């Protein structure tokens, strides 16, 4: 249960409801138009305590609170003050989640999730990018296993501007935190505090003794090079522009005042440093700021002695235009990827080593696997019988990437052949002049003929290129190497991306889907090959070594059905696009169908169907549909005539808007003449 005494000191400068912007609430007299979902646990408004909470006095798993309709044509910052009180230490404890529910979308986008229990309130700051679409904020409390869990929200405040901006006039300090150090720390100065260390007569915002600022001084410094850090809220949306702030620096012996960016893998980049000039009054600092992936701004002061002096800081602000006259378009990581469907994109080869990688595709069949993108498309192949010679090396160069940015490179590879495969494919980083070459990845022996995902994080100080190198040492040490779906994103691969809404890879669970049994056959979640030979996939579509859903034909009888049904999805106006991958390999394969079931309607509208064996590959299915009422999507597999009838699905993705591509026509009259038949 919540301890109410902890709420003391929670005066957030929000006197007078008239000041509140739409979507903001202090939960004093009302919930400000926030409504709870009666299908779940009730929230309780504690007007005297100024908070709203949910606890486990009722049976239930979660509670949902959604805002009135909101608009944010300007960039804004949502600040949420909350507390999770629980003794739950299980791997899946109580959580508070914040979702963005945008008009026209069937799925809510997770903006933020917290699970750390605490004895006092905490603050979360979340940037909301500008949009013309109507939206709601949806808070979801997940109660976990502990029977005494309580989740409370004290305040939601939406302000225009960026979360890294702060004038330090409110005591939540905009989510800025001091990193505790025994001897030197950032403190709030000014206002009514009037303590002996609060040395400045006036702050910058109000130019008054009542205004507030942050300061750090050297009085308690004991060691050489002691450091105080003030850390901003983490950016969650890409931002670039001009960061400015006011500071005063009084220096008796050397002080170093530095501003860093720190990414989620802990890498620091210095963006600003004081020169040694004294600043008797508030001085303006302006610095170009570029955070294409989540980062924190760190204001760091290093002292060398107790007589160092002090630094004060106020009015941190941000403008989306660079301070300097910087031109040029920002780097777009999409230009460094390729699915090889049209051409090599921005990749190229040098032919000094002989023919390198060939762009190929195979007819959809049950003997040769297709590409990774759709199962029907193109990929690159090296070490074919045309290219493989002892000591043969094929190099595929990517476009030049800027230095000093963290990247995540992902690609899919597949190996074919009978011999030793390790080392036949490697990834190098070439510095621009190709003088420095560094191997960052090399293939180990892996399952043959399975598209397997590789993931590499890297960051280099200089501009560089990614180079895929295929290698054929000798006839006995050489195999076919296939490459597809190369993609590059900003930030490290490990920086846990919030899951995409409407995406289901089946890696953790069955997502929005559940079985509908009633004496029917069932879908199973599995990784690796299925038990019966000559049917079923050898690996999943997501990574090659992950999970997929399938029907095990040997547990079912001819004509038996298995249903996988989504939960109720939000109806919207306009078209929706459903993408998924299906695997129908096996001489006795039955049917796979997809249905749309609208709420309050018994009819299951057929959207898509395939009958019989299709390919040894995962193939992509695309479905466009519309439903303005809530609806469910049903995947139905029917077992075929024999046990070679395992049917599998993976990588389901729901997206708002029409499908951008059309599905490859299933029984086309022929393939393009440029078709490159593989020889191996
Ligand atoms: Ca101030
Ligand atoms: Ca492809
Ligand atoms: Ca999967």
Distance 650 CA to ligand 3 centre (A): 5
Quote the ligand 2 centre to 486 CA distance (angstroms): 9
Range of the domain at 179: 173-319
Whole-angstrom Cα distance, residue 631 to residue 431? Answer: 52
**Residue 470 tokens, joined:** 């295929």
Q: What is the pLDDT of residue 389?
A: 65
Same structural domain, 151 and 29: yes
Whole-number Å distance, alpha carbon 202 to ligand 1 midpoint, is: 9
Alpha carbons 657 and 637: distance in angstroms, whole number: 27
- Cα 371 to averaged position of ligand 2 atoms, centre (Å): 5
Q: Which long-range contacts (CB under 8 A, 24 or more apart) does 220-224 make?
A: 220/183, 220/184, 220/306, 221/183, 221/184, 221/303, 221/304, 221/305, 221/306, 221/308, 222/183, 222/306, 223/183, 224/304, 224/305
Smallest CA-to-CA distance from 97 within 59, 145, 140 is with 140
Considering the domain architecture, whether residues 34 and 59 belong to the same structural domain is answered as yes
Q: Ligand 3 center to residue 594 CA distance, Å?
A: 19
Q: Rounded to whole angstroms, what are the CA distances from 83 to 28, 63, 118, 136?
A: 17, 15, 6, 22
171 beta partners: none
Domain final residue, candidates 257, 288, 319: 319
- Ligand number, closest to the Cα atom of 487: 2
Give the distance (Å) from ligand 1 centre to CA of residue 158. 19
Q: Which ligand is in closest contact with the Cα of 170?
A: 1
Q: Which ligand number lies closest to the CA of residue 381?
A: 2
Question: Has residue 137 been placed in a domain?
Answer: yes
Nearest ligand by distance to the CA of 171 = 1
Distance 563 CA to ligand 3 centre (A): 18
How far, in Å, from the CA of 542 to the mean position of ligand 3?
Answer: 4
Ligand nearest to the CA of 168: 1
In 274-402, beta strands by DSSP E: 279-291, 295-303, 309-319, 348-349, 358-360, 379-382, 392-397
Which pLDDT score, from 0 to 100, does residue 677 have?
Answer: 39
Same domain flag for 517 and 652: yes
What is the model's pLDDT at position 385? 61
Ligand nearest to the CA of 316: 1
Are 452 and 307 within one domain?
no
Cα dihedral 430, 436, 439, 440, rounded to 10, equals -70
- pLDDT score, position 656: 92
Ligand nearest to the CA of 373: 2
Give residue 649 CA to ligand 3 midpoint distance, Å: 9
**436 alpha carbon, distance to own chain's centre:** 32
- Give me ligand 2 centre to Cα 502, in Å: 23
Q: How far apart are CA 528 and CA 550, in angstroms?
A: 12
Are residues 306 and 340 part of one domain?
no
Distance (angstroms) between ligand 2 centre and the Cα of 454 equals 16
Residues 302, 380 within the same domain: no
Q: How many CB atoms lie within 10 A of CB 237?
A: 15
**608 C-alpha vs ligand 3 centroid, how far in Å?**
21
In a domain, 469, yes or no: yes
Report the separation in Å between the CA atom of 20 and the middle of ligand 1, taken as the mean of its atom positions.
20
Q: Nearest ligand to the C-alpha of residue 200?
A: 1
Proximal ligand: closest to the CA of 360: 2
Residues 6+ apart with CB under 8 A from 365: 615, 616
Specify if 328 maps to a domain.
no
Which pLDDT value is given to residue 474?
Answer: 73
The rounded Å distance from CA 281 to ligand 2 centre is 61
Say how many Å lie between the CA of residue 507 and the centre of ligand 3. 5
Find the ligand nearest to 547 CA: 3
Ligand 3 centroid to Cα of residue 636, in Å, is 18
Q: Give yes or no: residues 485 and 337 share one domain.
A: yes
Query: Is the domain of 480 the same as that of 430?
Result: yes
The CA distances from residue 158 to 21, 23, 24, 398, 617, in Å, are: 7, 6, 6, 43, 49
Assess if residue 665 is contained within a domain. Answer: no
**Ligand with the closest atom to the CA of 545:** 3
Nearest ligand to the CA of 169 is 1
**DSSP structural state of residue 147:** T
Structural domain includes residue 671: no
Number of the ligand closest to the Cα of 372: 2
Task: Tell me, yes or no, whether 128 lies in a domain.
Answer: yes
Residue 250, pLDDT score: 87
The enclosing domain of 414 has a CATH number of 2.60.120.200
The answer on 253 and 340 residing in a single domain is no
Our count of domains for the chain comes to 4
pLDDT recorded at residue 527: 94
The ligand minimizing its distance to the Cα of 212 is 1
Whole-number Å distance, alpha carbon 342 to ligand 2 midpoint, is: 9
Ligand located closest to 539 CA: 3
The per-residue pLDDT for 513 is 96
The Å distance, Cα 484 to ligand 2 centre, comes to: 5
The stretches in the chain having pLDDT less than 50 are 1-17, 667-680
Ligand 1 center–CA 19 separation, angstroms: 19
Closest ligand to Cα 338: 2
Q: How far is the CA of 667 from the centre of ligand 2 (A)?
A: 20
Beta strands (DSSP E) in 585-646 are 591-598, 605-611, 619-627, 631-638
For residue 360, report the distance from its CA to the centre of ligand 2, in Å: 9
* Whether residue 125 sits in one domain with residue 57: yes
Give 20 Cα–ligand 2 centroid separation in angstroms.
51
pLDDT of residue 664: 66
- The answer to whether position 238 is within a domain reads yes
Residues 71 and 49 in one domain: yes
676 is a domain residue: no
Does 291 lie in the same domain as 147?
no
Q: What is the pLDDT of residues 497-530, one digit of tens each?
A: 677 889 999 999 999 999 887 667 899 999 999 8
């Amino acid at each position: 249960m919540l301890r109410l005494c902890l709420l003391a000191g929670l005066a957030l400068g929000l006197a007078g409801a008239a000041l509140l912007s739409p979507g903001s609430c202090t939960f004093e007299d009302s919930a400000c138009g926030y409504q709870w979902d009666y299908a779940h646990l009730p929230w309780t408004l504690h007007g005297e305590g100024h908070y709203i909470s949910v606890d486990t006095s009722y049976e239930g798993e979660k509670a949902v609170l959604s805002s009135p309709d909101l608009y944010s044509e300007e960039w804004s910052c949502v600040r949420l003050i909350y507390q999770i009180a629980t003794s739950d230490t299980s791997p899946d404890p109580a959580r508070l989640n914040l979702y963005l529910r945008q008009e026209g979308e069937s799925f809510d986008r997770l903006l933020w999730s917290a699970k750390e229990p605490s004895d006092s309130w905490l603050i979360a700051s979340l940037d909301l990018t500008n949009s013309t679409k109507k939206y709601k904020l949806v808070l979801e409390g997940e109660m976990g296993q502990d029977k005494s869990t309580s989740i409370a929200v004290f305040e939601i405040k939406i302000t225009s501007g960026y979360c890294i901006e702060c004038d330090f006039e409110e005591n939540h300090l905009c989510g800025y935190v001091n990193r505790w150090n025994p001897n030197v720390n950032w403190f709030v100065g000014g206002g009514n505090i009037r303590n002996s260390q609060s040395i400045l007569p006036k702050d910058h915002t109000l130019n008054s003794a009542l205004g507030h600022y942050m300061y750090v001084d050297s009085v308690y410094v004991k060691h050489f090079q002691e450091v105080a850090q003030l850390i901003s809220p983490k950016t969650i949306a890409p931002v670039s522009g001009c960061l400015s702030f006011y500071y005063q620096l009084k220096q008796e012996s050397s002080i170093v005042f530095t501003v860093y960016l720190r990414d989620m893998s802990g890498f620091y980049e210095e963006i600003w440093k004081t020169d040694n000039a004294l600043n008797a009054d508030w001085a303006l600092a302006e610095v170009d700021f570029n955070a294409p992936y989540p980062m924190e701004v760190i204001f760091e002061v290093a002292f060398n002695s107790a007589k160092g002096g002090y630094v004060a800081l106020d009015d941190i602000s941000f403008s989306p235009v660079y301070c300097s006259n910087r031109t040029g378009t920002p780097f777009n990581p999409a230009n460094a990827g390729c699915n090889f469907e049209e051409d090599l994109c921005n990749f190229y080869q040098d032919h000094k080593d002989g023919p390198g990688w060939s762009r190929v595709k195979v007819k959809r069949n049950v003997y040769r696997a297709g590409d990774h993108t759709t199962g029907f498309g193109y990929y690159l192949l090296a070490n074919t019988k045309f290219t493989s010679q002892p000591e043969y090396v094929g190099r595929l160069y990517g476009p030049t990437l800027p230095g000093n940015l963290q990247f995540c490179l992902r690609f899919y590879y597949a190996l074919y052949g009978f011999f030793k495969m390790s080392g036949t494919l490697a990834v190098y980083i070439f510095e621009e002049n190709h003088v420095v070459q560094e191997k960052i990845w090399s293939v180990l022996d892996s399952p043959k003929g399975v598209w397997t995902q590789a993931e590499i994080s890297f960051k280099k100080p200089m501009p560089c290129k990614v180079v895929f190198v295929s290698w054929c040492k000798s006839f006995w040490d050489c195999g076919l190497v296939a490459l597809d779906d190369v993609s590059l994103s900003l930030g490290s691969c490990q920086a846990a991306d919030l899951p995409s809404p409407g995406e289901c890879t089946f890696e953790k669970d069955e997502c929005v889907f559940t079985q509908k049994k009633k004496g029917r056959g069932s879908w199973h979640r599995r990784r690796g090959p299925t038990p019966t030979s000559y049917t079923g996939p050898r690996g999943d579509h997501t990574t090659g070594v992950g999970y997929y859903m399938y029907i095990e034909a040997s547990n079912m009888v001819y004509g038996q059905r298995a249903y996988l049904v989504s939960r109720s999805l939000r109806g919207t106006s306009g078209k929706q696009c459903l993408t998924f991958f299906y695997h129908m390999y096996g001489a006795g394969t039955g049917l796979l169908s997809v249905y749309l079931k609208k709420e309050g309607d018994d009819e299951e509208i057929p959207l898509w169907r395939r009958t019989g064996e299709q390919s040894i590959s995962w193939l992509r299915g695309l479905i466009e549909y519309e439903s303005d009422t809530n609806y469910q999507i049903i995947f139905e597999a029917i077992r075929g005539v024999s046990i070679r009838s395992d049917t599998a699905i993976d990588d389901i993705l729901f997206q708002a808007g029409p499908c951008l591509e059309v599905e490859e026509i299933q029984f086309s009259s022929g393939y393009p003449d440029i078709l490159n038949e593989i020889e191996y």
